Amino acid sequence: MRPRRFRIPRASTLCLFLPLVAAPYRRTDAQPAIGAAPTDWSAWAFGRLGPAKTSLPGSPIFGSLGGGVVVSRGAMVGMFRVTDNESTVREDNSPPGEQDYAVLAGARSRNAHFFVIGAAGLAQSARTDLRNNLGVLTPERKLAPAFDVSAHADYRVVGLSLTAAGVLGPPSARYVSISLGAEVGWFGTR
Residue 5: pLDDT above 70?
no
pTM, to two decimals: 0.72
Least confidently predicted of 8-17, 36-45, 107-116, 141-150 = 8-17
Tell me the percentage of the chain whose pLDDT exceeds 90. Answer: 46
3-state secondary structure of 88: coil
CATH code of the domain made up of 42-186: 2.40.160.20
- Band of residue 110 on the pLDDT scale cut at 50, 70, 90: confident
d(CA 33, CA 129): 52
Residue 146, number of CB atoms within 10 A of its CB: 26
Tell me the residue type at 122.
L
Q: Where are the strands (E) in 56-174, listed by range?
A: 61-73, 76-87, 98-108, 114-127, 140-155, 158-167
d(CA 120, CA 146): 6
Q: What is the pLDDT of residues 24-73, one digit of tens each?
A: 545 545 555 545 444 588 999 999 999 998 877 666 788 999 999 999 99
d(CA 38, CA 161): 19
Average pLDDT value for residue range 147-173: 92
| 148 contacts 165 by C-beta, under 8 angstroms | yes
Q: Tell which residue, 144, 168, 150, has the closest CA to residue 50.
A: 150
Residue 123, number of CB atoms within 10 A of its CB: 27
Domain boundaries, the chain: 42-186
Q: Which residues contact 138 (CB under 8 A, 6 or more apart)?
A: 130, 131, 132
Residue 23: pLDDT above 70?
no
